[in-house]
Amino acid sequence: MGSFVNTLSTPLLGTPGWFWLAFLLIILGLLILDLGVLHRDQHEIEMRESLLLYSGYFSVGMAFGGWIWLQLGETRALEFYTGFLVEQSLSMDNVFVMAMILNFFAIPRRYQHRVLFWGILGVIVLRATMIGLGAALVQSFEWVLYLFGAFLLFTGVRMLSAQEEHHPDLAQNRLLQFLRRHIRVTEDMHGGRFLVRQPDRTSGKHLLHATPLLLALVVIELADLVFAVDSVPAVLAISQDPFIVYTSNIFAILGL
């Protein structure tokens, strides 16, 4: 028991291990509540429910920042809140792109939350990787921080002066074209399933096929990778603490 307590007290990337454990337990609890309770039965999410969900996730993120304030001090809490709000603002474009992707694949509204939920799980892993690499880069080469700061300034100016953007034609997306050429994809939806077995057109054997839900999920993950190239350097310019950067990122993304 003593060794376990000592392990939790040992700093992990500059923050005691039990802080990381507490964060992961909170995220796990939110995901279980979301998919296992609130959306156990797949249904269309109306505007009122969407606003309530967003408000709930936003409140949890703000409360987590308050906990950081009490445990780690004002400076790290302000860094968390700044990163949290910056990521929220940068994610607005992400919301519109995800809506465009779901519309392109004609995903029924009752299944859209399922796609987004599993997309968030991928984002949690992807952001951990990118933030870890970014933090290591800053630690090894401090001058990179100036590049991140300039990138943050550029991002802010671009957001203020942005005009109507031309959205890409998903039908011409190279990844999507590659997937359609190299994997079996069903023409129709099969409920909320990502994979189904059905007769192959050539052999007649029952083989595993991807559904449009899975293609939408893959493209959403790709879109987040592109947006992460914007948002991760921006937040790293605010704080170089991996715990602050990662937690503020994830709490902001959960509200999507």
CB 251 within 8 A of CB 61: yes
pLDDT at site 119 = 86
What is the CA 213 to chain-centroid distance, rounded?
A: 17
pLDDT at site 160 = 64
- The C-alpha atoms of residue 155 and residue 138 are separated, in whole angstroms, by 19
pLDDT at site 13 = 67
pLDDT at site 156 = 65
- The C-alpha atoms of residue 254 and residue 105 are separated, in whole angstroms, by 23
pLDDT at site 22 = 92
255: DSSP letter: T
pLDDT along the chain (256 residues), means of 10: 56 79 92 75 74 89 95 94 89 82 88 86 87 82 75 67 58 78 82 83 77 90 81 83 93 84
- The C-alpha atoms of residue 112 and residue 216 are separated, in whole angstroms, by 10
Residue written as tokens 């309530």?
52
Region for residue 206 given its phi and psi (left: phi exceeds 0; alpha: psi -120 to 50; beta: otherwise): beta
- The C-alpha atoms of residue 52 and residue 34 are separated, in whole angstroms, by 12
Element (H, E) at 209: strand 206-210
B/e letters for 65-75, b = 16+ CB within 10 Å, e = fewer, are: beebbeebeee
Please work out, in degrees rounded to the nearest 5, the angle formed at the alpha carbon of residue 82 by the alpha carbons of 128 and 246: 10
CB 170 within 8 A of CB 100: yes
- The C-alpha atoms of residue 219 and residue 227 are separated, in whole angstroms, by 12
pLDDT at site 90 = 79
| 208: helix, strand or coil | strand
For the chain, give every domain's residue range.
16-33+48-254
* Crossing angle between the packed helical segments 109-140 and 212-238, to the nearest 10 degrees: 40
What is the CA 66 to chain-centroid distance, rounded?
A: 22
- φ, ψ dihedrals at 195, nearest 5°: -135, 140
